[in-house]
Amino acid sequence: MICIAIDGPAGVGKSSVSRQLADEYGLAYLDTGAMYRAATWWCLKEGVALDEPQAVVDAVRDFLDNHVTFVIDPQEPAVVSDDEDVTSQMHSEEVSAHVSQVAAIPQVRELLIAAQRKEIEAQANPDSFSQGLGIVAEGRDITTVVAPRAEVRVLLTASEEVRQARRNHQAQQGQSGKDDVAARDAADSQVNNFTSAAEGVITIDNTHMDLQQTLDSFRRIVDQAF
Ligand code: C5P
């Protein structure tokens, strides 16, 4: 089974790259940011006080056990909650503004990391994704914590200005709500180091690259690894 792990800060283009790579190589696609976003969306919807960690942990456990399915098909990745497709709500301004607070709670991370490893391991013995050749997983701690033994591990970075500009462009196109990438990075980097590469992790800086050039860099690395 192939596992490609990709980490990086907000707005760097991880999702576009990971999804396209997964599609090209016939792999599943796990957007772990979407899992933290979904947990946050649920807590907001249920009126859980985000400054009460135990209440958040209980709500997230119930959500994962009883109310959510993550669809890991790169052609149509989705978050389905109680039979409703809620994917489009994951990038709302409200979710983006609160997700770092939820993701900083250690027990929330434990629950989500366990769920992520389960999804990755299920690809070795698939029943939900047809090919089962492997998976591309992206986030902030995939190369270091979730899948440190992945065959390919990449840290994707770009300057803050470029990342904020890309996110603003997405917001203008209606693909996401307003999102302060610097604030999110500052909060998230208290929890995980995704600004410098861990040992054995390859860095790609795509400040001066478009999506196609970024994909070409990844293809070279993946083709060399397999
Ligand atoms: O990748 P994305 O920007 O969608 O991630 C949303 C948020 O989820 C991040 O700002 C971070 O708080 C959290 N996250 C995390 N660990 C991951 C992926 C995302 O803490 N592996």
State the average pLDDT over residues 173-178.
91
pLDDT level of residue 127 (50, 70, 90 thresholds): low
Task: Write the CB contacts of 189 (distance below 8 Å, at least 6 apart in sequence).
Answer: 195
State the average pLDDT over residues 53-66.
98
Instruction: Give the pLDDT of residue 187.
Output: 97
- Inside any domain, residue 84: yes
- In the predicted model, is pLDDT for residue 128 greater than 60? no
State the average pLDDT over residues 151-177.
95
What is the CA(128)–ligand 1 centre distance, in A? 24
- Inside any domain, residue 225: no
- Inside any domain, residue 89: yes
What is the CA(107)–ligand 1 centre distance, in A? 15
Which residues, listed in sequence order, are joined to residue 203 by a DSSP beta bridge?
155
14 labeled part of a ligand binding site: yes
- In the predicted model, is pLDDT for residue 206 greater than 80? yes
132 labeled part of a ligand binding site: no
Query: Which of the listed residues 99, 109, 136, 166 should we mutate to test ligand 1's pocket, taking the one with most ligand atoms within 8 A of CB?
Result: 99
Write the burial class of residue 190 (CB in 10 Å: 0-12 exposed, 13-18 middle, 19+ buried): exposed
**Ligand 1 close to Cβ of residue 102 (< 6 A):** no
- Inside any domain, residue 193: yes
16 labeled part of a ligand binding site: yes
Query: Which of the listed residues 16, 17, 18, 36 should we mutate to test ligand 1's pocket, taking the one with most ligand atoms within 8 A of CB?
Result: 36
Looking at per-residue pLDDT, the higher value among 50 and 128 belongs to 50
Which structural domain, as residue segments, surrounds residue 191? 2-220
Q: In what order do the strands lie in the sheet with 68-71?
A: 68-71, 78-81, 84-85
**Ligand 1 close to Cβ of residue 119 (< 6 A):** no
What is the Cα 110 distance to its own chain's centre? 15
What is the CA(104)–ligand 1 centre distance, in A? 10
- Inside any domain, residue 33: yes
Tens digits of residue pLDDT in 74-83: 999 999 999 9
Distance from C-alpha of 148 to C-alpha of 122, rounded to nearest angstrom: 17
What is the CA(36)–ligand 1 centre distance, in A? 6
Cα–Cα–Cα angle for 185, 190, 193, rounded to 5 degrees: 75
Q: Residue 97 maps to which CATH number?
A: 3.40.50.300
**Ligand 1 close to Cβ of residue 166 (< 6 A):** no
What is the interface pTM, i.e. ipTM, of the complex? 0.99
**Ligand 1 close to Cβ of residue 7 (< 6 A):** no
- Inside any domain, residue 226: no
9 labeled part of a ligand binding site: yes
Count of the separate structural domains present in the chain: 1
Instruction: Give the pLDDT of residue 90.
Output: 97
What is the CA(143)–ligand 1 centre distance, in A? 14
- In the predicted model, is pLDDT for residue 129 greater than 90? no
Which residue, 22, 31, 14, 6, is CA-closest to 163? 14
Q: How confident is the prediction for the chain on average, in pLDDT?
A: 95
What is the CA(97)–ligand 1 centre distance, in A? 12
